[in-house]
Structure 1
Amino acid sequence: MGGNSSFTERLGVRTIINARARLSRLGGSIMAPGVWEAMQDAGRAYLDMGELHGRAGERIAELTRNEAAYVTSGSAAGLVLTTAACITGTDPAKMNRLPHIDGLKNEIIIHRFQRNHYDINIRQTGAQLVEIGNHRTTHPWELEEAFGERTAAVMYFPGRYLGANILSLEKVIEIAKGRNVPVIVDAAAQLPPAENFWAYSEMGADMVIFSGGKSLAGPQNTGLILGRKDLVAACRMMGSPNYAIGRPMKVGREDIAGLLAALEHYLNGGEQAQVAHCEKLTEFLLERISGIAGLSAHRRFPNELGQALPEVVAAIDEDAFGLTREEFIRRLWEGDPRVEVGPDGDRGFYLSPDPLQEKEAEILIERIKEALSAK
């Protein structure tokens, strides 16, 4: 291993042209300008982590127009802490009981349509999920009937988990407020627009969760909890460095500094740069994909994650290529350079320009042509 080789080369780890999404399993995001510098600066000295969390939370709350804010170790950790906060409030004795919560309010209401693989992060607090509706529709009376003496909160997932016939967030908040039950919104991927930082709270949501390592382009292992001061205070009481259910969900001083820098960048032109980047590359990709015989392509907006960003969706003529969509995606992944695209429908795939670097766009097109023509 030569002294001038990169970190990934020394480990034998291949880099990826990411044309799918800013996903945790692909490393989150390429960090925004100023983030790495802020992390290095914070790492040069010892700090009181409680004080740092408090001051950073105040600054983030100010920037996002919320009562309070707390930096978490990712949005999945945010699900744990927000759920726990609704169960215990700021009572240390109740916090100490988690996840053994017999006798406490431990029921979280959720649309059956919105059940997903992050359920485990809600349930690891000891909470039980109470489903409403079905995969076709949900009625207001079903939410009304789901409330009981042990209801702790209502969980809501916007974006890709929205169905045409489920209750709107506005209706959920209206009904929950009538029962004095908090509403948690997992908006991890719902940027842009930046207005979502305050829109959900202004709508009446009690706590809102965002990822720090996706559109914000901060450290991958960060997230944000925004909302009501008392509930955010409970999240902070249960988070590291305190000894409670959130102790393993540690956020370092470098991470907090990096996330704050990423947020400031996003609110000061970063969002506009992200949208412009996506528009430019969508136009480029659509033109080049449409020129490949056997592929049909169109622009999709919003994207697969429900973000206000465009992307390109293409369908493969499997008979013309003698190639299935699955084999095509496998060839992209196993080729050089390695490429990740997203499956769409039965025969299609999509290309998201959001994680794609401009210098990679032409290489991506060539790799697609290679994968289609390989025998």
Structure 2
Amino acid sequence: MDYRCYNLHLAVFVARKYLWKPRTPSACSSTIVIGHLAQHNLFQEASMVTGPGADIYRTLGVKPIITASGSTTAYGGSKLRPEVKDAINKAAGTMVNMDELNHAAGKIIAQVTGAEAGFVSSGAAGGLILQAAAVMAGNDPAKMNRLPDATGMKNEFIIHRSHRFPYDQCYTATGGTFREIGDGRRCHPWELEDALNENTAAVVYLFSSFITRRALPFEEVVEIAHGHDVPVIVDAASFVPPRANLKRFIAQGADMVQYSGGKGVRGPQGTGILCGRADLIEAAFANASPHQFIGRGMKVSKENIIGLVEAVQIFVEEDEEAETKRYNEMCQQVVDALIEVPGLEATVEHDDYNYLVPHALLTFTTEWRGPSRDDVFDAMVDGDPPIYLSNINNPDELAVDPLNLDDEELEIVIRRLHEVLLD
């Protein structure tokens, strides 16, 4: 397809979507369209990210960005809900007893997750450390005080080889060690049975996008582990939405589950949702700040606890169908604008494992003759404002995740993609 024809195709799409009102076509329609686009800056240099928040960062010499990669912590996480910001501001001016606040917040977490108890952790990673401390030391002060010296404690964590991931260091930070099962391609029930021993602290199970699904089914892991009185602890940091996942793993028998309090929940990015058995959550709480044990450095402020409680209560009451519909529509705008770029395949992807939020997936096919996937990613970052796309999947793919995008930012992303892809 000739690029000039494609430019006109994109111009017509954008104009129809955002600018045109019904009228009688004329012989100079394309000229009118381009004029409208220029007037609205859709084919001109992007505006800077604006607003009081952007100005705060600029005073430090930090450039505000557009995040089309979802809730990536390295790019700022998620945008806080307005109600959460208001709750944080209200909480800031009053002092409270932190133990009381933690227990009160834990009751809310228990309600929304269906667990016996809950706790606000310092992000999901901080919660994994508390999971490990809870199953190793319990709430025994002598053992808690020794960590990460695990002498005299069960400290072995069984994990599928296919579930090894960068954050599993959180389990070894407490003095834990791993025993792997499976070979990355498959795992048999007897391998888990054989691995369980008198030194097993817990079985770790990971729910995350873009990992192999050839591990043992979760319910089978729970059945085998519980048959040996061994707890199963879950990392599902990025596995909400869907909202049903907040209760799913507890209902399936997990002893502790960790979620992010930022990401899709859109609470403070430095918070996490830890839920599970009452005795294990109480042990996690005992090891955590403000107590002077291994979790002391993973402090969660009173403001962030209140912010998380506000966020999770809003999250579970929201209309997920309407939210998903909006994300789908945003992704479809990206696809419609880029679908005829030669050699590029543009699709909307949404499933229950890899794309929990709808994504606009851009696949560079064998017919692609433009810049490489990595060059496209870098060019988007090098622009003004910098735009970060999702690049965590296959090496020939990029994606637009709409979680953190408003309508104006989406338009900028579409225009910049058009410019970079056809450069």
TM-score grouping bracket, smaller chain normalisation: over 0.9
CA contact (8 A) 2:66 2:388 kept: yes
Aligned equivalent of 2:379, options 308, 331, 334: 331
Q: How does 1:30-69 map to 2 (within 5 A)?
A: 30-69=79-118
Equivalent residue number for residue 350 of structure 1:
399
Q: How does 1:1-375 map to 2 (within 5 A)?
A: 6-160=55-209, 162-269=211-318, 271-302=320-351, 306-316=354-364, 321-343=369-391, 344-374=393-423
After superposition, what is the alpha-carbon deviation per residue over 1:176-208, rounded to whole angstroms, capped at 9, x for unaligned? 010010001111011112121111111100000
Aligned counterparts of 1:148 and 1:189: Cα–Cα separation in 2 = 31
> Between Structure 1 and Structure 2, how many residues are aligned?
371
Shift of 1:319: 6.7
3-state SS of the aligned residue for 2:238? coil
Change (3 A) 1:242 1:4: closer
Aligned counterparts of 2:53 and 2:89: Cα–Cα separation in 1 = 22
CA contact (8 A) 1:87 1:106 kept: yes
Aligned counterparts of 1:315 and 1:126: Cα–Cα separation in 2 = 43
Look up the equivalent residue of 1:77 and give its one-letter code: G
Look up the equivalent residue of 2:280 and give its one-letter code: L
3-state SS of the aligned residue for 1:138? coil
Look up the equivalent residue of 2:384 and give its one-letter code: D
CA contact (8 A) 2:54 2:64 kept: no
Q: Which moved more, 1:183-192 or 1:347-356?
A: 347-356
Look up the equivalent residue of 1:373 and give its one-letter code: L
Look up the equivalent residue of 1:7 and give its one-letter code: I
Q: What TM-score, normalized to structure 1?
A: 0.94
Shift of 1:273: 4.9
Aligned counterparts of 1:318 and 1:129: Cα–Cα separation in 2 = 41
3-state SS of the aligned residue for 2:105? helix
Aligned counterparts of 2:377 and 2:262: Cα–Cα separation in 1 = 25
Shift of 1:317: 5.4
Q: Which moved more, 1:10-19 or 1:248-257?
A: 10-19
CA contact (8 A) 2:370 2:422 kept: no
CA contact (8 A) 2:70 2:401 kept: yes
After superposition, what is the alpha-carbon deviation per residue over 1:132-175, rounded to whole angstroms, capped at 9, x for unaligned? 00111111010001111100000000132652321011111010
Shift of 1:79: 0.5
Q: Structure 2 unaligned runs (5+)?
A: 1-51
Aligned counterparts of 1:333 and 1:5: Cα–Cα separation in 2 = 17
Shift of 1:87: 0.5
Over the aligned positions, Cα root-mean-square deviation in angstroms equals: 1.9
Change (3 A) 1:127 1:346: same
Q: Structure 1 unaligned runs (5+)?
A: none
Shift of 1:11: 1.4
Look up the equivalent residue of 1:262 and give its one-letter code: A
Q: What TM-score, normalized to structure 2?
A: 0.84
Q: Which moved more, 1:79-88 or 1:10-19?
A: 10-19
Percent identity of equivalent pairs: 38
